[in-house]
Amino acid sequence: MAAQRITTRNARFQQWQAQLTNRNKRQRAGEFLVQGVRPVSQAVEHGWPVRALLFDESRQLTRWASGLLREVKAEKIAMAPELLAELGEKDKGVPEVVAVAEMPPDELTRIPVGPGFLGVLFDRPTSPGNIGAIVRSADSFGAHGLVVTGHAADVYDPKSVRASTGSLFALPVVRVPGQREVEAWLAAAAPEVTVVGTDERGSIDITEADLTGPVLLAVGNETTGLSTAWRERCDVLVRIPMTGSASSLNAASAASVVLYETARQRGFERRGFERRGFERRGFERRA
């Protein structure tokens, strides 16, 4: 297997290192780092373009890592273990493989819309970990896509990618500047969609809302909630019944509760059948 070797902190290494913390450099390069066995496996399984596979040149690789290097059409980089450890951001040890994946286009048409549509909108999130957690929940409960709006944390921040545990590669996630782009998309693709906002002062309990039709669930910023514009746009604002002393749930936790209730109302078996009817990856699977 022919592979380039990187044993010093050269320009390429520094570029990848900067992508761990610098959103602008990730965006300019159009790529991001994928760390961990499951996220890397999910990226490959769901057909994401992988630009490079960085591997530890000093160790005997497992069958999993050897298979990746043999089967995935990407540049292979044999890297000194201490350098790979920095890119893998592991507390202990050196990862076998870190992948460099290509960012998909931020186009709302990547999210399929149909009669059983279930989408999630996250308005101005500040925590990349919460983005990843919501991606994971949305994937788990059968959503067809996530829209991140406004000035927000980055979907491709390593914290977000890790928190999604690979679901980022199974669920279309699209970043848009604001409400205008979402409104145009809904008007063209799904005018019948009901926009359901979550709010601790919502007018009805989530269990009282009809979530069986096409729905876009709107979740607000972790501190301030939904913006005034999104609150006014929502067809209904729902609250999650709570009995403890806490006044509200973490944004990711609230989204998980609402997604679960939506899946429950639709019937898990029926929801699974409908979900298989959609193309959800946003990339064509490679041969």
Sign of CA dihedral 63, 132, 269, 280: negative
pTM: 0.90
Question: Do β-strands 145-149 and 194-198 pair in parallel, antiparallel, or remain unpaired?
Answer: unpaired
Q: Which of 256, 221, 259, 215 is nearest to 236 (CA)?
A: 215
- Residue ranges for the chain with pLDDT beneath 50: 269-282, 284-287
Quote helix, strand, coil % in the chain, to nearest 5: 40, 20, 40
Q: Where would I find the beta strands (DSSP E) of the chain?
A: 4-6, 31-35, 50-56, 75-79, 97-102, 118-123, 145-149, 173-176, 194-198, 204-205, 215-219, 236-239
Q: What's the CA gap between 159 and 36, in Å, rounded?
A: 12
CB-count exposure of residue 204 (10 Å: 0-12, 13-18, 19+): exposed
| Confidence at residue 280, expressed as pLDDT on a 0 to 100 scale | 43
CB atoms within 10 A of CB 165: 17
| Confidence at residue 279, expressed as pLDDT on a 0 to 100 scale | 45
Q: What's the CA gap between 4 and 76, in Å, rounded?
A: 6
| Confidence at residue 272, expressed as pLDDT on a 0 to 100 scale | 47
| Confidence at residue 192, expressed as pLDDT on a 0 to 100 scale | 92
Q: What is the token pair recorded at 54?
A: 């960085």
- Phi and psi at 187, nearest 5°, equal -60, -35
| Confidence at residue 245, expressed as pLDDT on a 0 to 100 scale | 59
CB-count exposure of residue 11 (10 Å: 0-12, 13-18, 19+): exposed
- The DSSP call for residue 168 is G
CB atoms within 10 A of CB 227: 18
CB-count exposure of residue 61 (10 Å: 0-12, 13-18, 19+): middle
| Confidence at residue 246, expressed as pLDDT on a 0 to 100 scale | 60
The C-alpha angle with vertex 192 and arms to 199 and 240, in degrees rounded to 5, equals 20
Q: What's the CA gap between 241 and 89, in Å, rounded?
A: 39
